Chain A
Protein backbone atom coordinates (compact mmCIF):
# COMPACT_ATOMS: atom_id res chain seq x y z
CA UNK A 1 0.00 0.00 0.00
CA UNK A 2 2.65 2.58 0.92
CA UNK A 3 4.30 1.93 -2.41
CA UNK A 4 1.01 2.53 -4.23
CA UNK A 5 0.42 5.81 -2.32
CA UNK A 6 3.96 6.83 -3.03
CA UNK A 7 3.43 6.13 -6.72
CA UNK A 8 0.23 8.20 -6.78
CA UNK A 9 1.97 11.10 -5.03
CA UNK A 10 4.86 10.78 -7.44
CA UNK A 11 2.48 11.01 -10.38
CA UNK A 12 0.83 14.12 -8.97
CA UNK A 13 4.21 15.69 -8.30
CA UNK A 14 5.32 14.98 -11.83
CA UNK A 15 2.10 16.49 -13.16
CA UNK A 16 2.54 19.61 -11.02
CA UNK A 17 6.14 20.00 -12.16
CA UNK A 18 4.99 19.68 -15.78
CA UNK A 19 2.24 22.27 -15.29
CA UNK A 20 4.67 24.65 -13.58
CA UNK A 21 7.24 24.15 -16.33
CA UNK A 22 4.65 24.81 -19.03
CA UNK A 23 3.49 27.98 -17.22
CA UNK A 24 7.03 29.28 -16.88
CA UNK A 25 7.83 28.40 -20.48
CA UNK A 26 4.74 30.11 -21.84
CA UNK A 27 5.27 33.13 -19.58
CA UNK A 28 8.85 33.37 -20.83
CA UNK A 29 7.64 33.12 -24.43
CA UNK A 30 5.17 35.93 -23.77
CA UNK A 31 7.80 38.10 -22.11
CA UNK A 32 10.21 37.42 -25.00
CA UNK A 33 7.62 38.74 -27.45
CA UNK A 34 8.38 42.47 -27.78
CA UNK A 35 4.92 43.08 -29.23
CA UNK A 36 2.88 41.50 -26.41
CA UNK A 37 1.11 44.70 -25.40
CA UNK A 38 0.81 46.21 -28.85
CA UNK A 39 -2.34 46.57 -30.95
CA UNK A 40 -2.40 44.36 -34.03
CA UNK A 41 -3.73 45.98 -37.22
CA UNK A 42 -6.35 43.49 -38.48
CA UNK A 43 -5.74 44.10 -42.18
CA UNK A 44 -2.48 45.06 -43.87
CA UNK A 45 -2.74 48.64 -45.22
CA UNK A 46 -2.33 49.14 -48.95
CA UNK A 47 -0.21 51.88 -50.52
CA UNK A 48 -1.57 55.34 -49.59
CA UNK A 49 -4.18 53.91 -47.21
CA UNK A 50 -5.47 56.36 -44.59
CA UNK A 51 -3.47 54.51 -41.91
CA UNK A 52 -0.25 55.13 -43.84
CA UNK A 53 -1.07 58.79 -44.38
CA UNK A 54 -1.59 59.11 -40.63
CA UNK A 55 1.65 57.26 -39.99
CA UNK A 56 3.58 59.61 -42.29
CA UNK A 57 3.06 62.48 -39.85
CA UNK A 58 2.86 60.43 -36.66
CA UNK A 59 4.69 61.54 -33.52
CA UNK A 60 5.51 57.87 -32.83
CA UNK A 61 8.73 56.66 -34.42
CA UNK A 62 9.61 53.10 -33.40
CA UNK A 63 13.02 51.51 -33.64
CA UNK A 64 13.72 47.78 -33.23
CA UNK A 65 16.94 46.83 -31.45
CA UNK A 66 18.47 43.40 -30.82
CA UNK A 67 20.70 42.81 -27.80
CA UNK A 68 24.01 41.39 -29.02
CA UNK A 69 24.42 38.92 -26.14
CA UNK A 70 20.84 37.81 -25.33
CA UNK A 71 19.46 38.31 -28.88
CA UNK A 72 16.39 39.74 -27.23
CA UNK A 73 14.52 42.28 -29.35
CA UNK A 74 13.29 45.50 -27.81
CA UNK A 75 11.36 48.39 -29.29
CA UNK A 76 12.35 51.96 -28.52
CA UNK A 77 11.15 55.45 -29.35
CA UNK A 78 13.36 57.02 -32.02
CA UNK A 79 13.70 60.26 -33.96
CA UNK A 80 14.64 61.19 -37.49
CA UNK A 81 18.28 62.12 -37.22
CA UNK A 82 19.27 65.58 -38.50
CA UNK A 83 22.08 64.22 -40.66
CA UNK A 84 23.55 60.92 -41.72
CA UNK A 85 27.03 59.43 -41.71
CA UNK A 86 28.22 59.68 -45.28
CA UNK A 87 31.43 57.68 -45.05
CA UNK A 88 31.95 54.03 -44.09
CA UNK A 89 35.28 52.22 -43.68
CA UNK A 90 36.41 48.64 -43.31
CA UNK A 91 39.88 47.13 -42.98
CA UNK A 92 40.56 44.22 -45.34
CA UNK A 93 43.69 42.23 -46.07
CA UNK A 94 44.17 44.32 -49.23
CA UNK A 95 43.81 47.69 -47.49
CA UNK A 96 41.05 49.93 -46.17
CA UNK A 97 37.78 50.08 -48.06
CA UNK A 98 36.31 53.59 -47.92
CA UNK A 99 32.73 54.07 -49.11
CA UNK A 100 31.16 57.50 -49.54
CA UNK A 101 27.59 58.62 -50.01
CA UNK A 102 27.14 62.28 -50.88
CA UNK A 103 23.58 61.89 -52.09
CA UNK A 104 22.98 63.69 -55.38
CA UNK A 105 26.68 64.67 -55.54
CA UNK A 106 27.66 61.03 -55.96
CA UNK A 107 29.91 58.70 -54.04
CA UNK A 108 32.18 55.78 -54.52
CA UNK A 109 34.20 52.93 -53.12
CA UNK A 110 37.95 53.31 -52.80
CA UNK A 111 40.56 50.80 -51.71
CA UNK A 112 43.39 52.54 -49.89
CA UNK A 113 46.60 50.66 -49.16
CA UNK A 114 48.87 52.93 -47.13
CA UNK A 115 51.65 50.33 -46.95
CA UNK A 116 52.07 50.32 -50.72
CA UNK A 117 50.83 53.87 -51.23
CA UNK A 118 48.09 52.68 -53.57
CA UNK A 119 44.57 53.98 -54.02
CA UNK A 120 42.16 52.19 -56.33
CA UNK A 121 38.61 53.26 -57.18
CA UNK A 122 36.38 50.19 -57.17
CA UNK A 123 32.91 51.69 -57.63
CA UNK A 124 31.56 55.01 -58.91
CA UNK A 125 28.25 55.01 -57.08
CA UNK A 126 26.90 55.96 -53.65
CA UNK A 127 28.03 53.46 -51.01
CA UNK A 128 25.62 53.07 -48.12
CA UNK A 129 27.06 50.26 -46.02
CA UNK A 130 29.93 47.79 -45.77
CA UNK A 131 29.39 44.48 -43.96
CA UNK A 132 31.98 41.76 -43.28
CA UNK A 133 31.11 38.54 -45.07
CA UNK A 134 32.65 35.09 -44.82
CA UNK A 135 34.23 35.40 -48.26
CA UNK A 136 34.94 39.13 -48.21
CA UNK A 137 32.90 42.30 -47.79
CA UNK A 138 29.32 43.03 -48.82
CA UNK A 139 28.90 46.51 -50.28
CA UNK A 140 25.46 48.11 -50.42
CA UNK A 141 24.93 50.95 -52.89
CA UNK A 142 21.94 53.10 -53.75
CA UNK A 143 20.46 56.49 -54.48
CA UNK A 144 16.97 57.89 -54.15
CA UNK A 145 17.00 61.32 -55.76
CA UNK A 146 14.20 62.95 -57.76
CA UNK A 147 13.12 60.26 -60.27
CA UNK A 148 16.06 57.93 -59.64
CA UNK A 149 15.45 55.11 -57.13
CA UNK A 150 18.02 52.33 -57.27
CA UNK A 151 19.90 49.95 -55.01
CA UNK A 152 22.31 47.04 -55.33
CA UNK A 153 24.50 44.72 -53.31
CA UNK A 154 28.05 43.78 -54.32
CA UNK A 155 30.64 41.34 -53.01
CA UNK A 156 34.31 42.30 -52.72
CA UNK A 157 36.12 38.98 -52.42
CA UNK A 158 39.21 36.97 -53.28
CA UNK A 159 38.91 34.73 -56.30
CA UNK A 160 40.43 31.27 -56.76
CA UNK A 161 43.40 32.97 -58.48
CA UNK A 162 44.10 34.90 -55.27
CA UNK A 163 43.10 38.26 -56.74
CA UNK A 164 40.47 40.46 -55.10
CA UNK A 165 37.62 41.89 -57.18
CA UNK A 166 34.15 43.32 -56.79
CA UNK A 167 31.06 41.81 -58.43
CA UNK A 168 27.39 42.69 -58.28
CA UNK A 169 25.38 40.12 -56.31
CA UNK A 170 21.91 41.55 -57.03
CA UNK A 171 19.91 44.66 -57.81
CA UNK A 172 17.53 45.71 -55.06
CA UNK A 173 14.04 47.13 -55.36
CA UNK A 174 14.99 50.77 -54.81
CA UNK A 175 17.44 52.34 -52.38
CA UNK A 176 17.52 50.69 -48.96
CA UNK A 177 17.29 53.13 -46.08
CA UNK A 178 18.67 50.72 -43.45
CA UNK A 179 20.95 47.68 -43.74
CA UNK A 180 21.92 45.32 -40.92
CA UNK A 181 23.06 41.76 -40.25
CA UNK A 182 21.33 39.29 -37.95
CA UNK A 183 21.56 35.51 -37.51
CA UNK A 184 24.29 35.43 -40.13
CA UNK A 185 21.92 36.87 -42.73
CA UNK A 186 21.75 40.40 -44.09
CA UNK A 187 18.59 42.49 -44.05
CA UNK A 188 17.75 45.71 -45.85
CA UNK A 189 14.60 47.80 -45.79
CA UNK A 190 13.43 50.79 -47.79
CA UNK A 191 10.28 52.33 -49.19
CA UNK A 192 9.51 49.29 -51.34
CA UNK A 193 9.83 46.67 -48.59
CA UNK A 194 12.32 44.19 -47.15
CA UNK A 195 15.26 42.40 -48.78
CA UNK A 196 17.00 39.45 -47.12
CA UNK A 197 20.26 37.85 -48.21
CA UNK A 198 20.86 34.42 -46.69
CA UNK A 199 24.26 32.90 -46.02
CA UNK A 200 24.41 31.52 -49.56
CA UNK A 201 23.66 35.05 -50.86
CA UNK A 202 20.19 34.06 -52.08
CA UNK A 203 18.02 37.19 -52.20
CA UNK A 204 14.43 37.21 -50.93
CA UNK A 205 12.43 40.40 -51.47
CA UNK A 206 9.15 41.11 -49.69
CA UNK A 207 7.20 43.99 -51.22
CA UNK A 208 5.55 46.14 -48.57
CA UNK A 209 3.93 49.61 -48.70
CA UNK A 210 6.64 51.45 -46.77
CA UNK A 211 6.82 54.61 -48.95
CA UNK A 212 5.11 56.76 -46.34
CA UNK A 213 6.33 55.20 -43.09
CA UNK A 214 10.11 55.77 -43.25
CA UNK A 215 11.50 52.43 -42.00
CA UNK A 216 14.47 53.14 -39.70
CA UNK A 217 15.59 49.75 -38.30
CA UNK A 218 15.40 46.04 -39.06
CA UNK A 219 16.47 42.86 -37.30
CA UNK A 220 15.73 39.14 -37.24
CA UNK A 221 15.21 36.93 -34.17
CA UNK A 222 16.47 33.38 -33.66
CA UNK A 223 13.21 32.01 -35.10
CA UNK A 224 13.73 33.87 -38.37
CA UNK A 225 11.03 36.46 -37.63
CA UNK A 226 11.95 39.86 -39.07
CA UNK A 227 11.07 43.06 -37.18
CA UNK A 228 10.97 46.48 -38.86
CA UNK A 229 10.71 49.77 -36.95
CA UNK A 230 9.15 52.84 -38.61
CA UNK A 231 6.70 55.71 -38.17
CA UNK A 232 3.71 54.59 -36.07
CA UNK A 233 4.18 50.85 -36.73
CA UNK A 234 6.34 47.87 -36.04
CA UNK A 235 5.94 45.25 -38.76
CA UNK A 236 6.80 41.60 -38.08
CA UNK A 237 7.43 39.14 -40.91
CA UNK A 238 6.88 35.53 -39.83
CA UNK A 239 8.33 32.73 -41.98
CA UNK A 240 5.57 30.76 -43.69
CA UNK A 241 5.56 27.76 -46.05
CA UNK A 242 6.16 30.17 -48.89
CA UNK A 243 7.57 33.57 -48.00
CA UNK A 244 6.38 35.44 -44.93
CA UNK A 245 3.13 36.46 -43.30
CA UNK A 246 3.04 40.16 -42.39
CA UNK A 247 1.86 41.46 -39.01
CA UNK A 248 1.41 45.18 -38.35
CA UNK A 249 1.37 46.57 -34.81
CA UNK A 250 0.91 50.02 -33.34
CA UNK A 251 0.31 51.70 -29.98
CA UNK A 252 -2.71 53.76 -28.93
CA UNK A 253 -2.46 57.39 -30.02
CA UNK A 254 0.07 56.82 -32.80
CA UNK A 255 -2.49 57.10 -35.60
CA UNK A 256 -4.72 60.14 -35.72
Chain B
Protein backbone atom coordinates (compact mmCIF):
# COMPACT_ATOMS: atom_id res chain seq x y z
CA UNK B 1 0.00 0.00 0.00
CA UNK B 2 1.33 3.41 -0.97
CA UNK B 3 2.17 5.86 1.77
CA UNK B 4 0.53 9.24 1.94
CA UNK B 5 2.74 11.99 0.55
CA UNK B 6 4.07 14.55 2.96
CA UNK B 7 1.99 17.64 3.46
CA UNK B 8 3.68 20.26 1.31
CA UNK B 9 3.47 23.87 2.28
CA UNK B 10 3.41 26.28 -0.61
CA UNK B 11 5.29 29.34 0.53
CA UNK B 12 6.66 32.18 -1.50
CA UNK B 13 10.22 32.78 -0.46
CA UNK B 14 13.72 32.78 -1.90
CA UNK B 15 13.32 29.19 -3.02
CA UNK B 16 9.82 29.84 -4.31
CA UNK B 17 8.78 26.69 -2.48
CA UNK B 18 9.40 25.18 0.92
CA UNK B 19 8.61 21.55 1.78
CA UNK B 20 7.41 20.70 5.26
CA UNK B 21 10.15 18.88 7.22
CA UNK B 22 9.63 15.09 7.30
CA UNK B 23 8.78 13.27 10.54
CA UNK B 24 11.95 12.79 12.61
CA UNK B 25 12.45 9.01 12.30
CA UNK B 26 11.02 5.85 10.72
CA UNK B 27 10.98 2.17 11.67
CA UNK B 28 12.93 1.10 8.60
CA UNK B 29 14.83 2.36 5.59
CA UNK B 30 12.09 1.67 3.04
CA UNK B 31 9.49 3.65 5.01
CA UNK B 32 11.90 6.56 5.32
CA UNK B 33 12.84 6.45 1.64
CA UNK B 34 9.23 6.27 0.44
CA UNK B 35 8.24 9.16 2.67
CA UNK B 36 11.16 11.22 1.42
CA UNK B 37 10.30 10.29 -2.18
CA UNK B 38 6.74 11.53 -1.70
CA UNK B 39 7.94 14.89 -0.43
CA UNK B 40 10.58 15.15 -3.13
CA UNK B 41 8.12 14.28 -5.89
CA UNK B 42 5.86 17.14 -4.84
CA UNK B 43 8.78 19.54 -4.58
CA UNK B 44 10.08 18.60 -8.04
CA UNK B 45 6.66 19.07 -9.61
CA UNK B 46 6.16 22.44 -7.92
CA UNK B 47 9.55 23.93 -8.82
CA UNK B 48 10.95 22.14 -11.88
CA UNK B 49 14.19 21.57 -9.96
CA UNK B 50 15.66 18.37 -8.59
CA UNK B 51 15.35 17.92 -4.83
CA UNK B 52 17.06 15.39 -2.60
CA UNK B 53 17.91 14.28 0.92
CA UNK B 54 20.28 11.93 2.73
CA UNK B 55 19.13 8.93 4.77
CA UNK B 56 20.79 8.10 8.07
CA UNK B 57 20.43 5.41 10.75
CA UNK B 58 20.46 6.32 14.41
CA UNK B 59 22.19 4.16 17.02
CA UNK B 60 18.77 2.74 18.03
CA UNK B 61 18.16 1.51 14.47
CA UNK B 62 15.58 4.14 13.57
CA UNK B 63 16.04 5.82 10.18
CA UNK B 64 15.93 9.56 9.57
CA UNK B 65 15.84 11.91 6.58
CA UNK B 66 17.75 15.18 6.28
CA UNK B 67 15.70 18.25 5.23
CA UNK B 68 14.94 18.24 1.52
CA UNK B 69 17.26 20.52 -0.46
CA UNK B 70 17.70 21.78 -4.01
CA UNK B 71 20.41 23.54 -6.02
CA UNK B 72 17.79 25.22 -8.26
CA UNK B 73 18.91 22.95 -11.07
CA UNK B 74 16.66 20.66 -13.15
CA UNK B 75 19.55 18.26 -13.81
CA UNK B 76 21.18 17.52 -10.46
CA UNK B 77 21.03 18.00 -6.71
CA UNK B 78 23.83 17.75 -4.18
CA UNK B 79 23.37 15.82 -0.95
CA UNK B 80 27.06 15.32 -0.18
CA UNK B 81 28.17 15.35 3.44
CA UNK B 82 29.19 19.00 3.07
CA UNK B 83 25.58 19.93 2.34
CA UNK B 84 23.70 17.46 4.54
CA UNK B 85 26.19 16.33 7.20
CA UNK B 86 25.12 19.10 9.56
CA UNK B 87 21.62 17.62 9.61
CA UNK B 88 22.73 14.10 10.54
CA UNK B 89 22.57 13.67 14.33
CA UNK B 90 25.68 12.80 16.32
CA UNK B 91 26.14 9.03 16.47
CA UNK B 92 24.02 8.40 13.37
CA UNK B 93 25.51 6.97 10.18
CA UNK B 94 24.67 7.88 6.62
CA UNK B 95 23.07 4.94 4.78
CA UNK B 96 21.83 6.38 1.50
CA UNK B 97 20.08 9.12 -0.38
CA UNK B 98 16.84 9.94 -2.18
CA UNK B 99 16.26 12.36 -5.03
CA UNK B 100 13.76 13.14 -7.76
CA UNK B 101 14.14 13.58 -11.51
CA UNK B 102 12.49 16.39 -13.46
CA UNK B 103 12.72 14.72 -16.86
CA UNK B 104 14.35 17.86 -18.30
CA UNK B 105 17.43 17.42 -20.53
CA UNK B 106 17.46 13.66 -20.06
CA UNK B 107 17.34 11.08 -22.86
CA UNK B 108 14.75 8.90 -21.06
CA UNK B 109 12.57 11.72 -19.65
CA UNK B 110 14.04 11.03 -16.23
CA UNK B 111 12.34 7.64 -15.90
CA UNK B 112 15.41 5.61 -14.91
CA UNK B 113 18.51 6.03 -12.81
CA UNK B 114 21.12 8.11 -14.62
CA UNK B 115 24.83 7.47 -15.10
CA UNK B 116 25.38 10.02 -12.32
CA UNK B 117 23.07 8.11 -9.97
CA UNK B 118 24.85 4.80 -10.58
CA UNK B 119 28.31 6.37 -10.29
CA UNK B 120 27.33 8.09 -7.06
CA UNK B 121 26.06 4.84 -5.56
CA UNK B 122 29.43 3.17 -6.12
CA UNK B 123 31.38 6.14 -4.82
CA UNK B 124 29.27 6.47 -1.68
CA UNK B 125 29.50 2.71 -1.02
CA UNK B 126 33.27 3.08 -0.92
CA UNK B 127 33.11 6.16 1.31
CA UNK B 128 30.45 5.06 3.82
CA UNK B 129 30.54 1.25 3.61
CA UNK B 130 26.83 1.11 2.91
CA UNK B 131 24.70 2.95 0.39
CA UNK B 132 21.24 2.67 -1.08
CA UNK B 133 20.21 5.24 -3.64
CA UNK B 134 16.48 5.87 -4.22
CA UNK B 135 15.11 7.89 -7.12
CA UNK B 136 11.54 9.00 -7.76
CA UNK B 137 10.80 9.63 -11.43
CA UNK B 138 8.27 12.05 -12.99
CA UNK B 139 5.67 9.25 -13.09
CA UNK B 140 5.93 8.74 -9.33
CA UNK B 141 7.77 5.41 -9.57
CA UNK B 142 10.55 4.80 -7.07
CA UNK B 143 13.76 3.01 -8.06
CA UNK B 144 16.24 1.56 -5.56
CA UNK B 145 19.87 0.63 -6.08
CA UNK B 146 22.32 -0.81 -3.58
CA UNK B 147 25.55 -1.56 -5.45
CA UNK B 148 26.58 -4.09 -2.79
CA UNK B 149 23.43 -6.19 -3.36
CA UNK B 150 21.77 -5.25 -6.64
CA UNK B 151 23.16 -6.00 -10.09
CA UNK B 152 20.94 -3.22 -11.43
CA UNK B 153 18.34 -0.77 -10.10
CA UNK B 154 15.12 -2.32 -8.76
CA UNK B 155 11.67 -0.79 -9.34
CA UNK B 156 9.73 -0.72 -6.07
CA UNK B 157 6.02 -1.63 -6.12
CA UNK B 158 3.43 1.15 -6.09
CA UNK B 159 3.56 4.72 -7.22
CA UNK B 160 3.71 8.11 -5.52
CA UNK B 161 0.44 9.91 -6.27
Contacts and interface: CB of A to CB of B under 8 A. Distances in A.
A101 B119 CA distance: 16
A231 B70 CA distance: 14
Interface size class of B (residues with CB under 8 A): 35 or more
B80 A144 contact: yes
Interface in B52-98: 52, 71-83, 86, 97
Contacts of B148: none
Interface SS majority for chain B: loop
A5 interface: no
B14 A147 contact: no
B82 A102 contact: no
A231 B14 contact: yes
B122 to A, nearest CB: 10
Nearest to B77: A145
B14 A103 contact: no
Interface residues of A, number: 37
B72 A191 contact: no
A56 B18 CA distance: 11
Given A104-B115, A146-B99, A57 B15 contact: yes
Given A47-B86, A148-B116, A101 B75 contact: yes
Contacts, number: 114
A102 B116 CA distance: 10
B18 A147 contact: no
A222 to B, nearest CB: 31
A102 B14 contact: no
Nearest to B87: A48
B123 A147 contact: yes
User: Which of B12, B76, B120, B123 is packed against the most chain A CB atoms within 10 Å?
Assistant: B76
Interface stretch (B29-37, B104-112, B136-144, B151-159): B104-112
A59 B14 contact: yes
Interface string A126-153: 0000000000000000011111110000
A82 B73 CA distance: 8
A86 B105 contact: yes
Contact of B82 (A60, A83, A192): A192
B115 to A, nearest CB: 6
15 contacts: A56-B14, A56-B15, A80-B72, A102-B75, A103-B116, A104-B114, A104-B115, A145-B120, A146-B52, A146-B79, A146-B99, A146-B124, A146-B133, A147-B123, A149-B83
Given A81-B72, A104-B117, A145-B77, 10 more contacts: A56-B15, A82-B74, A86-B75, A102-B75, A102-B106, A103-B73, A104-B115, A145-B116, A149-B82, A192-B82
Interface of B: 12-16, 18, 48, 50, 52, 71-83, 86, 97, 99, 104-107, 114-117, 119-120, 123-124, 127, 133
